[in-house]
Chains A and B, each alone.
Chain A
């Protein structure tokens, strides 16, 4: 658990982050969104003390993050950034081994960890381990960057626009991978982005920052249903609202008993995907199947539209 308690950062008296308090639950994905200059990067950099707070405190599992030296704190917290920041003179394996090496792990343990992570990120250890970063594609470099951040098995992973430099297809894949990995390790992830689609796709909770303050902090659906300020409303976008609601709900939740013709849809697809399928195939209803392929009834166009309507 990360408790951010009345934290502020001022540069020459000008507040960049102004009196922010929030609690981040363990094993969740929290996405911090906001325009550039809203203080979102500064906020997460205060968690691992790359930026020292001017006022307030941050506690990790109850322990003040100033109780140990900054570098020791940062070895316990994963950190992945835009443009990956891989060390160009070190191989992929050496890059991933950075923090375990700093922590003084035994060589065998480091090697096993590097191999495990490379495999997890679908990079063949024998092929990719000895390569240098400039020999990899952008998507592979980004995966190595995240693998390096996770190497010492941190409870907390901070990510600063980690997918900003990726093209849309690789970005979608990277987001799926991140969610899978978050489930695998149970890591608490705090991610900064200005891409609202990414935020809605990844977040358990979203924190919206504006001019150094958090204006709303809650589950994605809450942001759509009751935006706290006009700024939150603008950020979500009038034209996007119904689709954002559908994008965060699963098809399974809208399923009802009954039959339908044609190709089925899996219960774990989003309702937005179900809607797209309904419109594209010109049907009124789709059969729904469970992840194992068992029929679960159908989902109708009506039911989806009702769910996309403004909540009353």
Chain B
């Protein structure tokens, strides 16, 4: 009975989120007490649904690019010919993480202009580290006897990578992607300071007009998306781990 409680809560959260995005107006009475007289309680400068979808699209594209680059890089530096680049790529990826996204935006705007592009660059750089580190950890901690058996069976290096190493690393790689996605979902909101279409628009509009309801609904939608996506990816990860016999 108790094991079902989290699932029911998540289902409820999803239903409320969808209802809110499809028909924000019906939630107006709930948010009304938070605003001053005559101010709108529900964001009225665009559709919340389309902003949420654009927000997700931005995060998706940035994470996809970060995943491809981070996984490729991790594969490269764990091959015999790539070990020399391990230290270098580690520091490069670490710089990406320590560089504040706001600073990336500031630097990227003059180069690529306003809009979605600088946000994508910032999210991409910010998302690299968790995926890279997790892939690296997974690839370097595979059971020795399994790798030995794969070599002994006569697999070429590429066959071993594709058939054994990557499938066995997948749960840990997905965990890295999960961390990266959650960070990006939150960070994407600041993209709206450089005119990217994200849910940050709602929050910024709220801050500018001193409208607490706007800030709250923007923040809650991002929060709900993050929780649901985090849980979804956790479930996928658990499924993969069970299949590889490691859980």
A residues with CB within 8 A of B = 48, 50, 71-76, 79, 81-89, 98-99, 102, 132-134, 145, 148-149, 158
Is the pair A88, B168 in contact by a Cβ cutoff of 8 Å? yes
Q: Are B246 and A88 in contact (CB under 8 A)?
A: yes
List B144-187 residues whose CB lies under 8 Å from chain A: 145-146, 148-156, 159, 164, 167-168
Give the residues in chain A near B164, CB-CB below 8 Å: 87
Complex formed: what's the CA distance from A145 to B146 in Å? 11
The complex places the Cα of A162 from the Cα of B125 at a distance, in Å, of 47
Take A74-B152, A148-B153 as given contacts and tell me if A85 and B245 are in contact as well, using a CB distance cutoff of 8 Å: no
Q: Is the CB–CB distance between A50 and B152 below 8 Å?
A: yes
| The residue from B146, B149, B153, B246 contacting A102, defined by CB atoms under 8 A apart | B153
Out of B149, B151, B154, which one reaches A87, CB within 8 Å? B149
CA distance A82 to B152 in the complex (A): 13
B146 and A88 form a contact (CB under 8 A): yes
CB of A88 within 8 A of CB of B245, answer yes
Contact partners of A84 in chain B: CB under 8 A: 145, 149
Q: Are B145 and A83 in contact (CB under 8 A)?
A: yes
Which parts of B183-209 form the interface with A (CB within 8 Å)? none
A88–B153 Cα distance when bound, in Å, is 15
Question: In the complex, which residue of chain B has the Cβ closest to the Cβ of A76?
Answer: B154
Supply 12 A–B pairs (Cβ within 8 Å), ascending by A.
A71-B155, A74-B153, A79-B149, A85-B145, A87-B168, A89-B167, A98-B153, A98-B155, A99-B154, A133-B245, A148-B149, A149-B152
B79 interfacial by beta-carbon distance below 8 Å: no
| Complex CA–CA separation, A98 to B168 (angstroms) | 16
Q: Which residues of B contact A76 (CB under 8 A)?
A: 154
B44 interface residue per 8 A CB criterion: no
| Residues of B contacting A148 in the complex (Cβ-Cβ under 8 angstroms) | 149, 153
**Partner of B151 from A50, A72, A132 at Cβ < 8 Å:** A50
B243 interface contact, C-beta 8 A: yes
Taking a contact as CB atoms under 8 Å apart, the answer to whether B154 and A71 are in contact is: yes
B244 at the interface (CB under 8 A from A): yes
Q: B151 contacts which chain A residues (CB < 8 A)?
A: 50, 74
CA distance A84 to B155 in the complex (A): 17
Q: Is the CB of B154 within 8 A of A75?
A: yes
